[in-house]
Amino acid sequence: MDSTAEANGIWISSFSAYTFTTILTTLLVVALMKRYRFVKRCDKLYGPPTDIPLWGGGSIILVPPEEIMTLLLLLHTVFGRKSASGMVRSWIGPLPMFFATTAEATEAVLSSNKIITKSREYNFLHPWLNTGLLTSTGSKWQGRRKLLTPSFHFKILDDFVHVFDEQSRILVNKLNQAIVKEKELNIFPFVTLCTLDVICETAMGRNVNAQSKTDSDYVQAVYSMSEVIQKRQIRFYLWPDWLFKLSAYWPEQCKNLDILHGFTNKVIKERKLEHQQNKRQNLEIVETTMKDDAFSKRPRLAFLDLLIEASQDGTVLSDSDIREEVDTFMFEGHDTTSAAITWSILLIGSHPEVQELVNEELDRVFGDSDRPVTMTDLNELKYLECCIKEALRLYPSVPIISRSCQEDFIIGGDEIPAGTSVSICPYFLHRDPKYFPDPEHFRPERFQAENSEKRHPYSYVPFSAGPRNCIGQRFALLEEKSILSAIFRNFHVRSLDKREEIILLAELILRPRDGIRVHLEPKKK
């Protein structure tokens, strides 16, 4: 009896092990077949050979930031020109990445109301920005976009011009102090601190004095957090949260978030208290109409003030909602603007004939005066605006724009599978000779009205385009014109770096690895 029971037990155990192995093997085979079909679908699009069957490729994983642009150049020039649809496929480890390399393919992506969800790389911004306007999707994004659009009304932006001017004057003073010791300097950190002061004051109504206090905890946290995000984006093995939390970047991120969110929460609390006090005193902080006389009576506001008023005492926006939008504005409006200004300085300073035309325009608008800049002045600086737009063509602040396909999508006859990402690299898109002859040449006149009106609208997308275009692009252009006009009103600029020798870093923004060296000569007043 015992031997029979024992035999039955052994048989049952063997059967259970066999069943388990069979089920496991079946699941594995099904998963491999599913993966095989997925890889085959992706590989139907033109692109580099798949390095590892069923896996994908590892070519991008180990590429340092300073070599990413070279790899993307290969994708665009070698593969993009041979792709009938304008779409190119590559692999980041096991994940496919599709690139739109033509204006036509870019239009299909950015104009679509179906591809509005940001790609997985944006998820790493969530700890800092949560799901504000940049990272949200669906009904939340649509609601926030509608709510926030009036905050960038041109009459509200008129108030910000005073901030641009004040911080630009501080920048000029800092540059004058610096060239006493040495007239040749790296302009990039000076501009970066200036734009950080601008964004803090316009977003939150608080000045962190970044240009004077470079050791500020908040300033350092902004830089450190941006670095952590960028490093995580290019290291796919840090994408899972549990692996990221085992890395040295996790405690660094936690420290940064404590500082960033702590500062924003403190400012929100203080500003809300001020609003309550003003209401008790029957002082109207924000007019409820867009009439000219209403705006003329309104005191200067920060973006945060507008959000607090729109929150309707928390019924529309909670404090956390307000914080994520303020943090988003801080993130989007800082490094991008400083990069655009720095690249403009490099290019104008490299072309004396262009700088002469800029100076003629500045003299025509300002004469010999040192008066503050006004919105009317900025609107008259047409040629300077062309210089900025041409600089953004050659060096777009955001090197890669990415979207996530939530469903299968057809572009130019090629099928992009659901669950994958589609990206646009403006740096190469803007160099299409079909729309920009002699694309490497710096020619601001390309953006004069008569030369640009017939150009494909999606051949130039420094602020993205379509439904998810940059809501703050007018704000950015006004700030850039204000700061650049202040620099060129006060200095003759000579760039010391040759463009072909500058090493580009494709991080959260496109920036020069070693900065931009210039020679500044004060103008005689």
What is the rounded distance in angstroms from the CA atom of residue 522 to the CA atom of residue 488? 9
The set of residues, in sequence order, having a beta carbon less than 8 Å from that of 54 and lying 6+ positions away, is 32, 35, 36, 39
Q: Are 208 and 67 in contact (CB under 8 A)?
A: no
DSSP string, 303-350: HHHHHHHHTTTTTS--HHHHHHHHHHHHHHTTHHHHHHHHHHHHHHHH
**The Cα angle at residue 262 between residues 257 and 268, in degrees rounded to 5:** 130
| SS3 per residue for 2-51 | HHHHHHHHHHHHHHHHHHHHHHHHHHHHHHHHHHHHHHHHHCCCCCCCCC
Question: CA nearest 484: which of 87, 190, 283, 271?
Answer: 190
**Burial class of residue 337 (count of CB atoms within 10 Å of its CB; 0-12, 13-18, 19+):** buried
Cα atoms in the 13 Å half-sphere on the side-chain side of 107:
9
CA distances from 169 to 172, 186, 198, 490 (A): 5, 18, 12, 10
Please state the separation of Cα 521 from the chain's center in Å: 33
Answer yes or no: is 470 a known binding residue.
yes
Name the binding residues for heme. 470
Q: Which residues are annotated as a binding site?
A: 470
